[in-house]
Structure 1
Amino acid sequence: MALKIEIAETKVILLNLLICVIIFYSVYYVVLCICFTAFRLQMLDGLAPFDFKTNPSWLNPNYLVLLVSLEITYFMSALLFVLVVEEWVWDYAITVTVIHIAITTAVKSEFPMMLHWWVALGSGLISMICVGQSLAYYLFKDNFIYPVLDYF
């Protein structure tokens, strides 16, 4: 059984990853600004995407803004990642999420241990993978990689 896959060069992968990270944080800040405006709140600071200590309450508007903006960011980023990486959305989504966790840890000088933050991050990642892969399959189904089963 042979799997015939052409592997992209490291430079192409790193360039795509850089583009995806830029897309993710650009979308995040735009959505944050829109959400803060919609909720009529003052923007806390430029570090809002890395805030995992906000009190998780449906009555706390700052928490709602951070939650809604994270989920919308993952959904919108999935749509844009498809244009950059085609069928490899899941791989780049997971890698960008790991980078986001690393940056969050570095910015806050503390590893996020808040369960609500992990749940929001996980649900956003799952939606990004599902939406991204579905859209990628729909747009690029002729280019998808299927294993070649020799001697089957």
Structure 2
Amino acid sequence: MPSSKRILLYIFTSQVLFYSAYYCVGSILFAIYSLDEFDGTIPFNFRQWIEFTDCCNFTKTETVNALSMVITYPIAGALTGAYLPERVWDYSITIAVIHIAMSFLVMLDIASNWSWWVCLGISLVLMIGCGEGVLALKRYRNKSRLVVPEPETEPRSYLYR
């Protein structure tokens, strides 16, 4: 069991990886959609969000915000899975809870848009799945390195005597 300092270091590093990925994905999508102004509150902005009740009338900013969340969470899960030695699901949920709290603090409001919550939940499941998948691959790779192949013996034939 890791110490409290180690756990806090893992949480901090996972949070830095998460927001780094979020801003990278957000800036790439802002460039793709040719938006005029890059808003630094892109990870926290739940006010400019897709309303699923008004289908296919999304603004570019709403689309970029939604796509940023859906793309970032699996990427951050994979990065977290590559970094952490265990319990990616636990750290993923912690990252999401901290992100929700920071979103409420930055926007000074509580998200009442149900589509933001649904997108967050689906993205969190994707984050956990990608993170645990990378962690399982990492464990499998480490386990296969521990297997030492037996040296090949020379054939026992009457010709080699």
Residue 26 of structure 1 aligns to a residue in which SS? helix
Q: Tell me what 1:51 maps to.
A: 45
- Counterpart for residue 93 of structure 2: 94
Match of 1:113 in 2: 112
> Is the CA contact (8 Å cut-off) linking 2:92 and 2:124 kept in structure 1?
yes
**Partners of 1:39 and 1:61 within 8 A in 2:** yes
Larger RCO (CA within 8 A; separation ≥ 6) = 1
Bigger Rg over Cα: 2
Deviations 1:47-79 (A, max 9, x none): 121111115254321111111111111111111
Alignment check: 8 A CA contact 2:80 2:131 kept: yes
Matched-pair contact (CA < 8 Å) for 1:54–1:62: yes
Give the aligned residue type for 1:80.
L
Unaligned runs of 5+ in 1: 1-6, 144-152
Q: What amino acid sits opposite 1:56 in the alignment? A: I
> 1:55/1:82 Cα in 2 relative to 1: closer, same or farther (>3 Å)?
closer
Q: What TM-score, normalized by structure 2, do the two folds share?
A: 0.80
Measure the CA separation in 2 of the matches of 1:131 and 1:24: 13
Identity level (%): 34
Give the structure-1-normalised TM-score. Answer: 0.84
Runs of 4+ displaced beyond 3 Å: none
